[in-house]
């Protein structure tokens, strides 16, 4: 049975400490308020086109309930709009992305979705310039 394009399976989540360290050491940064993106294009012959993680700082939100709510909303916006991003990732490459939430107010769903669209719009030309090199 074929998986839906709108799913967010385990293979698309960035979990390995080695990959996370590589992303934060070598990756480039991009700002799309209220989200900062760290991204890195790496070689990957198979697997999902992108792996991502979502981070909400404890410094801004002391309660885990609020952090989880924001993370859930960002994940949902990513899940619905990731197809736009996947079309720009070249074959044989994998995009590692970290979404870091910066605002000190709880994100409502529509603004999270708009932030994700703006972030993808800014990230797409960056991916094209990296692959053109």
- Written as six digits, the tokens of 6 are 């709108």
pLDDT digits (tens, 9 = 90+) for 36-77: 999 999 998 788 899 999 999 999 999 999 999 999 999 999
Backbone angles phi, psi at 29, to 5 degrees: -115, 150
Tokens of 24: 């934060």
Q: What's the whole-model pTM score?
A: 0.90
Report the pLDDT value the prediction gives residue 107, as an integer from 0 to 100. Answer: 86
Residue 102 has which token pair? 């910066």
Phi/psi at 92 (nearest 5 deg)? 85, 5
Q: What are phi and psi of 120, to 5 degrees?
A: -65, -35
**And the tokens for 9?**
């399976």
Number of Cβ atoms within 10 Å of the Cβ of 60: 14
In order of their start, the domains of the chain are 10-132 (3.30.230.10)
């Amino acid at each position: 049975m074929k998986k839906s394009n709108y799913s967010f399976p385990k293979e698309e989540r960035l979990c390995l400490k080695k990959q996370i360290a590589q992303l934060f050491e070598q990756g480039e940064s991009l700002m799309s308020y209220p989200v900062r993106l760290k991204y890195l294009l790496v070689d990957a012959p198979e697997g999902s086109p992108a792996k991502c993680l979502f981070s909400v700082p404890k410094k801004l939100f002391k309660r885990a309930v609020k952090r989880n709510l924001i993370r859930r909303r960002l994940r949902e916006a990513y899940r619905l709009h990731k197809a736009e991003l996947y079309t720009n990732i070249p074959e044989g490459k994998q995009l590692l992305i970290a979404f870091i939430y910066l605002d000190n107010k709880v994100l409502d769903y529509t603004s999270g979705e708009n932030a994700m669209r703006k972030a993808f719009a800014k990230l797409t030309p960056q991916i094209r310039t990296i692959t053109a090199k």
